[in-house]
Amino acid sequence: MKFEMNKQTIIIAMLTAALALTSCHQAAQKKEVGQQADTTETITKADTLRLVIRDKELAEDASFVAAIIINPTKQDVNFGAEYTIECETDGQWQTVPFPKDFGFASVLTTVAAGDSATIYGHLSQLRLTPGHYRLCKEIDGKTLSDDFYIRSGIAFPNPTYR
């Protein structure tokens, strides 16, 4: 009889362990599926043509803003020199007008598949005041943009030596 109880105890313990392993396996499968979805989302975002501003904070007297065009796709992309600068005012983006004598060179730039290129948005003629701005550029039929800030600069006079 003592052997029978041990046998029953062993069977119950084995069934309990089997149930525990099954539920752990199902939980692990759900976690893997969630991780795959996150990874797929990350790959999709990383696989998208994008524009990234190098320095998010610029001085009030900055003459340009530098941006990187990142092309992780499998196709080359072409674009011209044109861009716009927008300013956020009361939660709305408004295009900053260029001066009448401002123009763009007729140059076509190519960023090869899997490569990147640096572009520059010239600011010196725009006389931007401190605030929140973004550089916008149309590439391959899509408008890409990234934001930056103009911070208030305090200019100190040169020291006078006597």
pLDDT in tens, 28-58: 443 343 433 333 334 446 679 999 999 999 9
Name the phi and psi angles at 30, rounded to 5.
Answer: -65, -40
The helix (run of H) or strand (run of E) holding residue 94 is strand 92-95
CA dihedral 34, 38, 43, 44 (to 10 degrees): 100
In terms of DSSP H, where are the helices of the chain?
A: 2-46
Is pTM beyond 0.75? Reply is no
pLDDT at 31: 39
The CATH number given to 50-151 is 2.60.40.2970
Look at the block and give the residue holding tokens 């190519």: 110
- For residue 113 the two structure tokens come to 């598949």
In the chain, domain spans = 1-46, 50-151
Query: Residue 139: how many CA atoms within 13 Å on its side-chain side?
Result: 26
Cα radius of gyration (the chain) = 29
157 vs 78, more confident: 78
User: How far is 32 from 128, CA to CA, in rounded Å?
Assistant: 49
Q: What is the pLDDT of residue 43?
A: 43
What's the rounded mean pLDDT across residues 89-99? 94
